[in-house]
Amino acid sequence: MSTLTINDERFLSDLYHLRTFGADGIGVIRPSLSTPDVAARHWLRTRMEEAGLEAQIDRVGTVFGRSPRPGPALLLGSHTDTQPKAGWLDGAFGVMAALEVARTLREQPETAGLAVDVASWIDEEGSFLGFLGSRSFCGLQDLSLIDTATGRDGRLLVAALAEAGLAGRPRVQMEDGRYAGYLEAHIEQGPFLEADGNRIGVVTRIVGIRTMLIRFTGIQNHAGTTPMPMRKDAGRALVEFVNRIHAEFPKIAGERTVWTAGRIELDPGAASVIPGAAELTLQFRDPESEMMNRLQERVFELAAEADGDIGVEAIMEPGTVEPVAMDEDLLEQVAAAAESHAPNNWVRMPSGAGHDAQVLALRMPSAMLFVPSIGGISHDFAEDTADEDLVLGCQVLATAVESILKAAPAAPPSRPA
């Protein structure tokens, strides 16, 4: 099926090198536009240039390497920014696999004329604005938000971009008519592949993600002198609300529904003060939009029920992403590549994590493949994958790219922004 063989050692060596930017023990701390993140972007741009790509870091920080070959092209990518305390492979694997595929194609005469562009989309993890790079490329980012967005580190996005020397640069934008599609390789970040002894996951759908902010307003007072019946404790109301969510969501949830109270803040958050205000970030995910609507409605109902002595207000946070299906044709090509390298050892599966592919899918046919995560652990220092699985995932990507490009029509489809 394939004539392409990736260079395992080169791929792993660069992937391990990327791990050194922001390394903390076995983990990585490399949120968007932090010092190690910016250094990693410059390093990656140089690697792209060496691979014969026309490389740049754009106005929002995306590292983009464009093949000088004419289309139809495949766009490959993922992200190199991380969560605040992260593993070394989330996003990084897909970017380095993309680069290795571009290098391999160029080196082998039979595929040297094929066009592959490579991207490291900035801020998939939402330190400032989730999916900023892929949304900006696709013309789907509300540009006014860029001026006002503030990062988890308290910096304005525009200030962080200026500090990184990126202010005033051109923004990379999708070229209509160039792309046959987008492919992203990623670690699974969950337990299913490992548990079932599979080595490759071919992604069918990506979950939607909605995040709600719930604010509780009580009365701040002295924790020693205020009798229990006289308290208006916003913190207690928050805890009771979280318990209500955990009791009520299972009654309507689907098989793949998940929800997380990921951030809780008590104001003022002191041992001897009854919290006068409290804030909760509740996120929920599901592969189906209808289910997401039901969950959202239920949160509003529960907030209205709880609203009384303690004020309760629920607000949708920006950055919602809807569930999206992967492109059937591309998905079948990835499946064929998986079968050729891991016969009977791969599976079709939905993604429970969000990915830039769900943004790209709104503009062009898109597909993804997964490799197993050891112990199903991710968004944690302990995230890991066996080297052989990383290499296999990269090889499957290379084979899929070759077969897709060899079959691509001269004028590929694109969808309006």
Beta-strand pair 200-206/346-351: parallel
Largest CA distance in the chain: 81
Nearer to ligand GLV, 15 or 207 (CB): 207
Cα–Cα distance, 349 to 85 (Å, whole number): 27
Cα–Cα distance, 328 to 313 (Å, whole number): 41
Nearer to ligand GLV, 115 or 185 (CB): 185
CA-CA-CA-CA dihedral for 366, 372, 374, 375, to nearest 10: 80
Q: Which residue has the tokens 């070759």?
A: 402
Q: Which residue has the tokens 């690697």?
A: 47
According to the binding rule CB under 5 A, does residue 91 interact with Mn ion?
yes
According to the binding rule CB under 6 A, does residue 129 interact with ligand GLV?
no
Buried b (16+ CB within 10 A) or exposed e, 350-382: bbbbbbbbbbbbbbbbbbbbbbbbbeebbeebe
Nearer to ligand GLV, 83 or 403 (CB): 83
According to the binding rule CB under 6 A, does residue 125 interact with ligand GLV?
yes
Question: Which helix (H) or strand (E) is 258 found in, with range?
Answer: strand 258-267
Residue of 222, 190, 157, 156 whose CA lies nearest to 355: 190
- At closest approach, how far in Å is the CB of 90 from Mn ion? 4
Strand order of the β-sheet with 277-286 is 258-267, 277-286, 208-217, 311-316
Q: Is 163 helix (H, G, I), strand (E, B) or coil?
A: helix
Q: Which of residues 226-285 bind ligand GLV (CB under 6 A)?
A: none
Nearer to Mn ion, 82 or 257 (CB): 82
Nearer to Mn ion, 90 or 100 (CB): 90
According to the binding rule CB under 5 A, does residue 90 interact with Mn ion?
yes
Q: State the binding partner of 81 from ligand GLV, Mn ion, none, CB within 5 to 8 A by kind.
A: none
Please give the DSSP secondary-structure letter assigned to residue 78. E
Query: How many chain residues bind ligand GLV (CB under 6 A)?
Result: 3
- Mark the segment that binds Mn ion (CB under 5 A) among 87-95, 215-223, 264-272, 286-294: 87-95
According to the binding rule CB under 5 A, does residue 276 interact with Mn ion?
no
Please give the DSSP secondary-structure letter assigned to residue 225. T
Query: How many chain residues bind Mn ion (CB under 5 A)?
Result: 2
Q: State the binding partner of 354 from ligand GLV, Mn ion, none, CB within 5 to 8 A by kind.
A: ligand GLV
Nearer to ligand GLV, 116 or 326 (CB): 326
According to the binding rule CB under 6 A, does residue 354 interact with ligand GLV?
yes
Cα–Cα distance, 97 to 102 (Å, whole number): 9
- At closest approach, how far in Å is the CB of 355 from ligand GLV? 7
- At closest approach, how far in Å is the CB of 354 from ligand GLV? 4
- At closest approach, how far in Å is the CB of 11 from ligand GLV? 22
- At closest approach, how far in Å is the CB of 58 from ligand GLV? 21
According to the binding rule CB under 6 A, does residue 6 interact with ligand GLV?
no
Residue of 245, 351, 350 whose CA lies nearest to 296: 245
Nearer to ligand GLV, 125 or 389 (CB): 125
Q: State the binding partner of 393 from Mn ion, ligand GLV, none, CB within 5 to 8 A by kind.
A: none
Nearer to ligand GLV, 192 or 307 (CB): 192
- At closest approach, how far in Å is the CB of 353 from ligand GLV? 3
Q: State the binding partner of 31 from Mn ion, ligand GLV, none, CB within 5 to 8 A by kind.
A: none
Q: Which residue has the tokens 């391999």?
A: 104
- At closest approach, how far in Å is the CB of 302 from ligand GLV? 24
- At closest approach, how far in Å is the CB of 66 from ligand GLV? 26
Q: State the binding partner of 233 from ligand GLV, Mn ion, none, CB within 5 to 8 A by kind.
A: none
Nearer to ligand GLV, 383 or 389 (CB): 383
- At closest approach, how far in Å is the CB of 134 from ligand GLV? 12
Beta-strand pair 200-206/324-325: antiparallel
According to the binding rule CB under 6 A, does residue 353 interact with ligand GLV?
yes
Nearer to ligand GLV, 3 or 260 (CB): 260
Helices (H), 119-178: 132-138, 143-148, 157-163
Tokens for 248? 């009520």
Instruction: Write out 24-72 in H/E/C secondary structure.
Output: ECCEECCCCCCHHHHHHHHHHHHHHHHCCCEEEECCCCCEEEECCCCCC
**Site of interaction with Mn ion (CB under 5 A):** 90-91
**Site of interaction with ligand GLV (CB under 6 A):** 125, 353-354
